[in-house]
Amino acid sequence: MAGPNAVLQPALSRPRRARGRLFALVRFVVMLATTLLGLLAMTFFIGRVIPVDPVLAVVGDRASAQVVERTRIEMGLDRPLIEQFGIYVARVAQGELGQSVLTSRPVLDDIFRVFPATLELATYGTLIGVLFGVPLGVMAAVRRGGLIDQLVRVVGLLGYSIPIFWLGLLALLLFYAKLGWVSGPGRIDVVFEYTFTPLTGIYSLDALLRGDWSAFANIVSHLALPSALLGYFSLAYISRMTRSFMLHELSQEYIVAARAKGLPERTIIWRHALRNAAVPLVTVIALSYAGLLEGSVLTETVFSWPGLGLYITNALANADMNAVLGGTVVIGAIFIGLNLLSDLLYRTLDPRTRRR
Amino acid sequence: MTIDWGQLRRLQACLVIAATLSVPFAGRALAATPPDTLVQAWAIDDIIGLDPAEAFEISAAEMLGNSYDRLVRLDIDDPSQLVNDLAEEWEVSADGRTFTFTLREGMTFASGNPITADDVAWSIQRAVKLDKSPAFILTQFGLTPENVESRARATDARTFVFETDQAYAPSFVLNCLTANVAAVVDRQLVEAEARDGDFGNGWLRTHYAGSGPMTIRDWRPNEILVLERNERYHGEQAKLTRVIYRNVRESATQRLMLQSGDIDVARNLQPNDLDQIANLDTVRVISAPKGTIYYFSLNQKNPELAKPQVREAFKYLVDYDGIQASLIKGIGEIHQNFLPKGMLGASDESPYHLDVDKAKSLLAEAGLGDGFSITMDVRNTQPVTGIAESVQQTMAEAGVRLEIIPGDGAQTLTKYRARSHDMYIGQWGVDYWDPNTNADTFASNPDNADDSGVSTLAWRNAWDIPELTEESRAAVLESDTAARVALYDDLQRKVREQSPYVILFQQTEVAAVADGVQGYRLGPSFDTNYVYNVSKE
């Protein structure tokens, strides 16, 4: 970390600094472990008290009483709850998330299959939200009560109140069925089913890596609607937050000072005010990104997008606990990871936090 | 590192421009499915595995029906008849207990391994020993893991012998052998993948080892399933190279995809979407009555619902015609008997209609002239939600206050199986194509105790019926088909008049098919929805 503020850092001796870092790392690992354990415990017990018989998902409605009973024992459901949880945690600690009963596959494989689909959608959605939401929010704050401010208000209001399900269908009807501008539900056309082999599961990236331009165009055209939709909702939120952070900054004394100094308004807004507003904004963006990464069940349903949201919802409705818990671990890790990332960005953006 | 905000701003501007430019760039190629491929949109997320000895879900049934052979199949032109599949001929012994099948010659599995009587015997033995959900279809003939090796055996490479514990109606035995659980798997291939005595079950859930006209090439849960032509099929080759199923849950989404040419067949269209495509000349709608019955039932543990007059009154408090005209238009038809139309012995009597006055007088007779309150567990899906609301309205006219308790499928079912409901609305699909499948659940309750281990529908509603249980049993042992039909007719009449079930309608399966697709048919059951006869112009 170099820069004008580097001199302000207290001069620590090398061994002390190393010890400090080690301590911070240990503290982080302990925090990570306890958070995940708590999360698992909560999910596990909630999953066991919901009034759904997990055996039903495995054997269906028609199995004989003996089959049901045998399966219950095979699944370990006859043991005390706390023991079941202990067994599960011990397995997770060994990196074993178990099998999903709904897909007959290891939960880890399932997550590697469904998560990239959600990651891709959430990333484009957030990019759209940030690229359009931040400038809109800034402009709304600068011209408070002006046209753009009204626009941001309406956009935000609609974003909060329109059911995403309805909007998704409407968008499909217009842009896909009527105008034919974009491709429909799913991630890629079936014609590519035999020519395009994914690498990472993030299709748009895979197509680029493979240099398959026709697949890339098709993938982007499939991505356009769902990511625009998620982007819109993220934009509605980010622009409102940007606006209020900016209003706060613009009322500060240093802005008056900057104006008195005769700095151009553009510099004051974009270089001074936004830079300070960016600090809390990073958290807002990170949390909205994490929210999208959980998977949006409704968007995934309308667009037949085989992502994490549908996977977990399906699993939960059928009490497929291995899958639910596996998904929870992933989501928990994402939240922790993004929190960590926004902390790191804080340090870059806010010089005061660097001293500690 | 410090951030150069000017640079960032320029970068941001570039990205905005790039994003804007990508919209026209994302223009869609001409929408058409490949000429050698049939693309279907269907909710296939019920599939949890593809092992014929285990899979019992609706869409899995269709996949296995197309990809696995069995000894005999249903004749889809007349489902009360059978056609040979792997068997060239079969005969029943004089005592009605031994069935001897002779296989056709020179057949192979998709793997290239020859199909022998040993594969047939091993497949049946495997299903019985694994004892998964559908195993009862075989074990009801007295097969157990201990005796199955002698009761289902190969006597030479082409002869398979199947022995039952007593003389059943031969039609019943053969009908059961058409089920997926009796499908023939490639022993050599599956045995090589067996782990810890699982007979290859763990592997076969996600793989394929059959000999049918189609092979299962790929299954990605909640996303896609691909069937591909089996080049080694013993009969006539499938016309299309592959059939792709895309998991699409939304009816409206399916309709848009069909209209845009991205799919050839839409399988889950609801009445309002069917209406919207009714006038299109590029799409035609195909339908077939299926063996699924929708009904609601009255738990006899509830003292009010246990009164015979209440059971009868509720049958008059349903607006059958109104429901037919709107909620199930095109996807079902009124049916008031537990045997679905098309099955041996099915009755088409439907004496009940909405009659509030009659219901009121029946309720008054039961001492409930002022009405009463009751709950109904309803799964959050159409058409049952709509039907429950309709019933709520008509019941209110007779003073019955119906409270709807919505829930997920697994949730309402868990409650139903625990007998803790008042009323439950749901559907029952046949397990195999023989009247016993429904008689055995609607009209059979061998032990009404809470912990008896029975889970028939009669038991779930605590309907204690020793005589009907006896009669159902007699019907399945009756080897004279006409006498058997008479027994089922009598059973259906008694259930119609006395039972705590208000049987509403029989499901019609609908498929909206794009122009240019030929030979698309829906069979009477889900495992007879054959796609290998389909071709494209």
pLDDT at A12: 54
Nearest to A129 by CA among A280, A239, A276, A243: A239
Strand order in the sheet with B152-156: B87-92, B98-103, B159-163, B152-156
Q: What is the pLDDT of residues B188-228, one digit of tens each?
A: 999 999 998 899 999 999 999 999 999 999 999 888 999 99
Mean pLDDT of A65-71: 83
Q: What is the pLDDT of residues A151-207, one digit of tens each?
A: 888 888 888 788 888 889 999 999 998 888 898 899 988 888 778 888 888 999 999
Answer for the pair B6, A272: CB distance below 8 angstroms, yes or no.
Answer: no
User: Per-residue DSSP letters for B140-190?
Assistant: TTT--TTTHHHHEEEEETTEEEEE-SS---HHHHHHHHTSGGG----HHHH
pLDDT band at B399 (very low <50, low <70, confident <90, very high): very high
Q: How confident is the model at residue B31 (pLDDT cuts 50, 70, 90)?
A: low
pLDDT band per the 50, 70, 90 thresholds, residue A7: very low
Whether residue B65 contacts residue B180, with contact meaning beta carbons closer than 8 Å, is answered with yes
C-beta atoms of A274 and B134 within 8 A: no
**Range A314-341 average pLDDT:** 85
**Half-sphere exposure in the Cβ direction for B208 (13 Å, CA):** 26
Please report the pLDDT score of residue A15 as a whole number: 67
Say how far apart CA B102 and CA B377 lie, in whole Å: 50
The secondary structure element, H or E, covering residue B391 is helix B384-397
Cβ contact, residue pair B453, A52, below 8 Å: no
pLDDT attached to residue A8: 45
List of residues 6+ apart from B390 with CB closer than 8 A: B318, B319, B322, B323, B327
Closest CA to B66 of B85, B43, B89: B85
Most A CBs within 10 Å: which of B176, B206, B253, as the mutation test of the A interface? B253
Name the residue with tokens 């990073």: A282
Distance CA B65, CA B51 (A): 12
Q: Do A131 and B16 touch (CB under 8 A)?
A: yes
The reply to whether A79 touches chain B by the CB within 8 Å rule is no
Strand partners, A4: none
Flag if A65 and B45 touch (Cβ within 8 Å).
Answer: no
Query: What residues contact residue A73 under an 8 Å CB cut-off, 6+ apart?
Result: none
Which chain A residues contact residue B134 at CB under 8 A? 62
Of the listed ranges A291-295, B172-176, B239-243, the one predicted with least confidence: A291-295
Q: Does the beta-carbon distance from B222 to A63 stay under 8 Å?
A: no
How far is C-alpha A291 from the geometric centre of its chain's CA atoms? 4
Q: Which band of pLDDT confidence, cut at 50, 70 and 90, is reported for residue B30?
A: very low
pLDDT at site A5: 43
Q: Which residues of B touch A3 (CB under 8 A)?
A: 1-2
pLDDT in tens, B298-344: 999 999 999 999 999 999 999 999 999 989 988 899 999 999 988 88
Neighboring chain A residues of B250 at a CB cutoff of 8 Å: 169, 301-302, 304
Chains A & B: contacts with CB separation below 8 Å = 177
d(CA B40, CA B48) in angstroms, rounded, equals 19
B174 φ/ψ sector (left φ>0, alpha ψ -120 to 50, else beta): alpha
Cβ–Cβ < 8 Å for B7, B232: no
**Contact: B23, A181; criterion CB under 8 Å:** yes
Q: How far apart are CA A156 and CA A131, in angstroms?
A: 16
Task: Determine phi and psi for B304, rounding to 5 degrees.
Answer: -70, -45
Dist CA B124 CA B136 (whole Å) = 12
Q: What is the DSSP letter of B34?
A: -
Which of B152, B161, B156 is CA-nearest to residue B181? B152
Q: Convert the pLDDT of each residue in A36-53 to its tens digit.
A: 888 888 888 887 777 778
Rounded-to-integer distance, Cα A115 and Cα A309, Å: 9
Helices (H) and strands (E) in chain B, counts: 19, 19
- Asked if A355 contacts A339 with a C-beta cutoff of 8 angstroms, the reply is no
- Specify which residues B42 forms β-bridges with: B247
Question: Measured between beta carbons, which residues in chain B are less than 8 angstroms from residue A59?
Answer: 132-133
Contact assignment for B28 to A180 by CB distance below 8 Å: yes
Considering only CA atoms, which of A23, A28, A124, A2 is closest in space to residue A340?
A28
Please report which confidence band the pLDDT of residue A267 belongs to, taking 50, 70 and 90 as the band edges: confident
* Partners of B103 in the β-ladder: B87
Tell me which H or E stretch contains B390.
helix B384-397
Q: Which residue of A has its CA nearest to B452?
A: A65
What was the pLDDT predicted at B230? 96
Whole-number Å distance between alpha carbons of B381 and B407 = 9
Is the pLDDT reported for residue A120 higher than 90?
yes
Q: CB-CB: which of A189, A270, A314 is closest to B9?
A: A270
| Chain A CB contacts of B259 below 8 Å | 177
| Token reading at B322 | 């109104």
CB contact under 8 A, A114 and B431: no
More confident residue, B415 or A8: B415
Average pLDDT over residues A122-149: 91
Contact status of A70 with chain B (Cβ, < 8 Å): yes
Q: Is the pLDDT of residue A217 over 70?
A: yes
Q: Which residues contact B495 (CB under 8 A, 6 or more apart)?
A: B337, B338, B442, B443, B468, B501
Residue B425 zone, left/alpha/beta (φ > 0; ψ -120 to 50; rest): beta
| Secondary structure of chain A in HEC code, one letter for each residue | CCCCCHHHCCCCCHHHHHHHHHHHHHHHHHHHHHHHHHHHHHHHHHHHHCCCCHHHHHHCCCCCHHHHHHHHHHCCCCCCHHHHHHHHHHHHHCCCCCECCCCCCEHHHHHHHHHHHHHHHHHHHHHHHHHHHHHHHHHHHHCCCCHHHHHHHHHHHHHHHCCHHHHHHHHHHHHHHHCCCCCCCCCCCHHHHHCCCCCCCCHHHHHHHHCCHHHHHHHHHHHHHHHHHHHHHHHHHHHHHHHHHHHHHHCCHHHHHHHHCCCCHHHHHHHHHHHHHHHHHHHHHHHHHHHHHCCCHHHHHHCCCCCHHHHHHHHHHCCCHHHHHHHHHHHHHHHHHHHHHHHHHHHHHCHHHHHC
Q: Is the previous residue joined to B34 through a cis bond, with omega within 30 degrees of 0? A: no
Q: How many CB atoms lie within 10 A of CB B295?
A: 21
In this predicted structure, the answer to whether residue B25 has a pLDDT above a threshold of 60 is no
- Mean per-residue pLDDT over chain B, rounded: 89
Phi, psi of B55 (to 5 degrees): -65, 135
Chain B: give the shortest CA distance to residue A296, in Å: 15
The strand pair at B332-334 and B224-229 is best described as unpaired
- The answer to whether the CB of A152 falls within 8 A of the CB of A145 is no
Q: Does A182 touch chain B (CB under 8 A)?
A: yes
Angle in degrees, 0-180, between the axes of helices B5-25 and A213-250, rounded to the nearest 10: 140
Give A107-353's CATH code, choosing from 2.40.30.10, 1.10.10.60, 1.10.3720.10, 3.40.50.720. Answer: 1.10.3720.10
Give me the pLDDT at residue A32, please: 81
Q: Contact B413/A56, CB-based, under 8 Å? A: yes
Interchain CB distance below 8 Å, A59 and B133: yes
- A 227-286 → B contacts, CB under 8 A: 270-271, 274-275
Residues A321/A54, Cβ–Cβ less than 8 Å: yes
Between the CA of residue A348 and those of A275, A344, A355, B99, what are the distances in Å?
11, 7, 11, 81
Closest approach of A160 to chain B, Cα-based (Å): 23
pLDDT of residue B19: 46
Query: Model confidence at A278, in pLDDT bands (50, 70, 90)?
Result: confident
Burial class (CB in 10 A: 0-12, 13-18, 19+), A213: exposed
Restricting to A residues 216-235, those with a Cβ less than 8 Å away from any Cβ of B are: 217-218, 220-221, 224
Is the confidence at residue B13, as pLDDT, over 70? no
| Alpha-carbon gap: A3 to the closest alpha carbon of chain B (Å) | 6
Residue A353 to residue A344: CA distance in whole angstroms: 10
DSSP structural state of residue B418: T
Can you tell me whether residue B209 is helix, strand or coil? coil
Q: Mean pLDDT across the stretch A14-24?
A: 75
B1, B15, B128, B133: which to substitute to probe chain A, counting the most A Cβ within 10 Å?
B133
Q: Which residues in chain A are contacts of B29 at CB distance < 8 A?
A: 189, 214, 217-218
Q: By 3-state DSSP, what share of chain B in percent is helix, strand and coil, each rounded to 5?
A: 35, 20, 45
Measure Cα distances from B311 to B304, B362, B424, B496, B501 in Å: 9, 9, 14, 10, 8
Chain B CA closest to residue A71: B132
Residue A173 contacts B, CB cutoff 8 Å: yes
Range with lowest mean pLDDT among A219-228, A254-263, B28-37: B28-37
Please tell me which of the candidates B56, B226, B246 has its beta carbon nearest to residue A186.
Answer: B246
Q: What's the pLDDT band for A13 if we cut at 50, 70, 90?
A: low
**pLDDT attached to residue A270:** 87
In degrees rounded to 5, what are phi and psi of residue A306? -75, 70
Q: How close is the nearest chain A Cα to the Cα of B272, in Å?
A: 15
Q: Which amino acid, one-letter code, is at A216? A: F
- pLDDT at position B73 over 90: yes
Cβ of A102 within 8 Å of Cβ of B221? The answer is yes
Residue B71 near residue B59, CB atoms below 8 Å: no
Residue B381 has pLDDT above 90, yes or no: no
Q: Does the pLDDT at position B184 exceed 90?
A: yes
Q: Which residue of B250, B251, B280, B456 to mutate against A (max A Cβ within 10 Å)?
A: B250
Proportion of chain B above pLDDT 70, given as a percent: 94
Helix H or strand E segment including B198: none
Residue A295 reports pLDDT greater than 90: no
Instruction: Check B257 against A128: CB less than 8 A apart.
Output: no
Is there a contact between A306 and A81 (Cβ–Cβ < 8 Å)? no
Map residue B101 onto helix, strand or coil: strand
Instruction: Work out the pLDDT band at A6, boundaries 50, 70, 90.
Output: very low
A192: nearest CA partner in chain B: B34
A70: chain B residues, CB-CB within 8 Å? 131
Antiparallel, parallel or unpaired: β B265-266 and B37-42: parallel
For residue B15, give the 3-state DSSP assignment: helix
Q: Enumerate the H helices of B278-325 as residue ranges.
A: 308-315, 320-325
Q: For residues B341 and A19, give the distance between their C-alpha atoms in angstroms, rounded to a whole number.
A: 79
Q: Which of helix, strand or coil describes residue B84?
A: strand
Determine whether the interchain pair A60/B56 forms a contact, defined as Cβ–Cβ distance below 8 Å: yes
For residue A182, give the nearest of B3, B12, B26 by CB distance: B26
Residue from B9, B193, B222 whose CB has the most chain A CBs within 10 Å, to mutate: B222
Among residues B144, B163, B138, B143, the alpha carbon closest in space to that of B53 is found at: B138
Tell me the nearest-neighbour CA distance from A172 into chain B, angstroms: 8
Mean local confidence (pLDDT), A321-331: 86
Q: What are the domain boundaries of chain A?
A: 22-93, 107-353
B365 confidence band (pLDDT: 50, 70, 90): very high
What pLDDT, on the 0 to 100 scale, is given for residue A68? 84
Q: What is the pLDDT of residue A73?
A: 87
Cα–Cα distance measured from residue B14 to residue B100, given in angstroms and rounded to the nearest whole number: 77
Query: How far apart are the C-alpha atoms of B22 and A217, rounded to whole Å?
Result: 9
DSSP state of B234: S
d(CA A48, CA A46): 5
| Alpha carbon of A4: minimum distance to chain B alpha carbons (Å) | 9
Cβ contact, residue pair A66, B131, below 8 Å = yes
pLDDT confidence bin for B11, thresholds 50/70/90: very low
Q: A52, B408: Cβ pair inside 8 Å?
A: yes
pLDDT digits (tens, 9 = 90+) for B422-436: 999 998 988 888 899
Interchain contact, B28 vs A317, CB within 8 Å: no
CA of B459 vs chain A CAs: smallest distance (Å): 13
